A and B are shown apart, each in its own frame.
Chain A
């Protein structure tokens, strides 16, 4: 699986949009970009994933550059409860076999939302 690079930390004001960047310059054509987050003392929580098109769900939006070498997770109106470690992961999707379905978590980016 391709390696991802994320800043160590960032902060944003409550109510503002939080834009979390991720570089994945070695991504392959069949690799998806996933975002998870982990709030203190809880298990990782799935947020969103995409292949090449921008995606949006009730939690966030995912913007993937045209060359797919980077992406941005957008939390449109950050709240204090969004303070967490956010993980950007790329993973092969083909055949969705057990060997390819594992997630490789790096150190993530710590988002701090301030009042």
Chain B
């Protein structure tokens, strides 16, 4: 019963390096999200996806790219890492409800702790 799995759990990068964070969910959810969480602040949405092959910008998309080639995976890429991107990154997924007035909760992974030196 894995739910939402994020890899890696920890990573240290040097400024200018690139990397990809992987999020995988086994609940057949349509929606997937990437958030970042910084000390003293709530979670902020980076990018999200409403289905395979689609992505959209959230509140803080600059410096990040995403891809959703398969329904179960949502990738977050940093092309040229900057110290300001040091954060804890959370992926989430949710089911698309058929009833417009119902709501489905988001299920979160345990995060990727990324430090950029």
A-contacting residues, B66-86, CB 8 Å? none
Q: Is B101 an interface residue (CB 8 A)?
A: yes
Q: Which residue of B lies closest to A108 (CB)?
A: B42
CB–CB A102/B33 < 8 A: yes
Determine which of A42, A95, A106 lies in contact with B100 in the assembled complex, contact meaning CB atoms within 8 Å: A95
Known A96-B97, A98-B50; contact A103-B103, beta-carbon cutoff 8 A: no
- In the complex, A32 Cα to B107 Cα: how many Å? 17
Residues of the A chain whose Cβ atoms lie less than 8 Å from the Cβ of B49: 98
**Interface size range of chain A in the complex:** 20 to 34
CB–CB A93/B43 < 8 A: no
Q: Is A43 an interface residue (CB 8 A)?
A: yes
CB–CB A96/B100 < 8 A: yes
CB–CB A43/B109 < 8 A: yes
The minimal Cβ–Cβ distance linking A53 to chain B, given in whole angstroms, is 13
Known A43-B108, A108-B42; contact A98-B48, beta-carbon cutoff 8 A: yes
Centre residue among A42, A44, A93, A99 by max chain B CB count within 10 A: A44
Q: Which residue of B lies closest to A103 (CB)?
A: B106
- In the complex, A30 Cα to B42 Cα: how many Å? 23
A-contacting residues, B16-39, CB 8 Å? 31, 33, 35
Further 17 A-B residue pairs, CB within 8 A, beyond A96-B102, A97-B50, A103-B43: A30-B101, A41-B110, A43-B90, A44-B106, A45-B108, A46-B106, A91-B103, A94-B100, A95-B100, A96-B100, A98-B50, A99-B56, A101-B48, A103-B106, A104-B42, A105-B35, A108-B42
